[in-house]
């Protein structure tokens, strides 16, 4: 088949599939119609991103963050119900400098549709430190490596939690160096000066919930934002939005967009292969082969 004819027929197939009309390329009574409709639905399915990497890097959290903040169909290892080979894009999540297991896994993934990301950027301390770690990862792997904080991107603090954080900020409280002190210690008026005693089980439950939702760095950041007196201190919604922005999850948008054409290329190849298989079965073979060969209907 000539290149021009392939491109033209591929364009027809893509337009019909995107419009949900691939089945219209054959007669309503054709035995091939069901195959074409199924192939069209598969071609037009939402972008599927598979999150992979070593255990403990926050893969499921990143998947949730991408679904909630970027409206992308992202699947983590604890959520996948299908084969990883069914993905359109792969995001390999690093927890720090790449190890041998990371190199081995990356070598098994399609290089043109794989994005490498440094997750849990907040655990590295200052943003400049996370940026330096990401730069080292990029040099080691030879690819761009953005640094993001998926847990902040998932922030969904309730009004009760926001009011409690505002109370802490008003008292000058700081997140203690040890997480256990936040759970069991007193309400601090500054880093180490004891203040009022905790109110009991309700307060402990609030602190436990905050740690589960946004962890130590998120709490420290929230207290700083509220104490600064900016918009983030006005409501739970405003604070959540500020934490979402600080997650830098939007850094994943350009590399995803930059690979959309490669995704389309492979989906078209799969679509043509499905039609060729249908023709090989003898289902409206002449019509389908003419479409694939001649570039029209």
Q: What is the pLDDT of residues 199-258, one digit of tens each?
A: 456 888 888 889 988 988 899 999 999 999 999 999 999 999 999 999 999 999 999 999
Instruction: Name all domains of the chain by residue range, CATH numbers in brackets.
Output: 3-44+262-294 (no CATH), 48-151+249-258 (3.40.50.300), 156-244 (no CATH)
Provide CB contacts within 8 A for 59, sequence distance 6+. 51, 52, 53, 76, 77, 78, 93
pLDDT, mean over the chain: 85
| pTM for this entry | 0.81
- 291 against 17, higher pLDDT: 17
- 230 against 15, higher pLDDT: 230
Which pLDDT value is given to residue 81? Answer: 56
Mean pLDDT for 65-87 is: 79
Which pLDDT value is given to residue 155? Answer: 95
- 119 against 77, higher pLDDT: 119
- 116 against 27, higher pLDDT: 116
Which pLDDT value is given to residue 175? Answer: 84
């Amino acid at each position: 088949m000539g290149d021009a004819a392939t491109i033209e027929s591929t364009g027809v197939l893509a337009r019909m599939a995107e419009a949900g009309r691939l089945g219209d390329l054959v007669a309503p009574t054709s035995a091939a119609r069901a195959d074409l409709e199924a192939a069209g639905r598969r071609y037009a399915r939402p972008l599927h991103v598979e999150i992979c990497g070593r255990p403990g890097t926050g893969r499921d959290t990143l998947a949730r963050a991408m679904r909630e903040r970027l409206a992308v169909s992202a699947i983590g290892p604890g959520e996948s119900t299908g084969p990883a080979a069914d993905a359109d894009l792969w995001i390999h999540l690093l927890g720090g400098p790449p190890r041998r297991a990371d190199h081995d896994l990356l070598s098994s993934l399609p290089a043109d549709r794989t994005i490498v990301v440094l997750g849990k950027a907040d655990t590295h301390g200052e943003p400049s430190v996370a940026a330096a770690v990401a730069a080292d990862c990029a040099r080691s792997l030879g690819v761009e490596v953005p640094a993001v904080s998926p847990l902040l991107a998932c922030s969904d603090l309730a009004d009760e939690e926001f009011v409690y954080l505002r109370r802490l900020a008003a008292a000058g409280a700081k997140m203690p160096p040890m997480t256990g002190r936040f759970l069991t210690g007193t309400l601090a008026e500054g880093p180490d000066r004891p203040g009022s005693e905790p109110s009991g089980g309700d307060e402990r439950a609030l602190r436990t919930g905050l740690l589960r939702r946004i962890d130590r760095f998120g709490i420290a950041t929230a207290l700083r934002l509220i104490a600064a007196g900016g918009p983030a201190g006005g409501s739970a919604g405003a604070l959540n939005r500020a934490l979402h922005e600080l997650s830098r999850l939007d850094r994943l948008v350009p590399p995803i967009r930059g690979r959309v054409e490669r995704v389309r290329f492979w989906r078209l190849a799969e679509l043509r292969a499905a039609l060729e298989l249908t023709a090989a079965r003898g289902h409206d073979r002449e019509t389908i082969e003419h479409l694939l060969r001649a570039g029209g209907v």
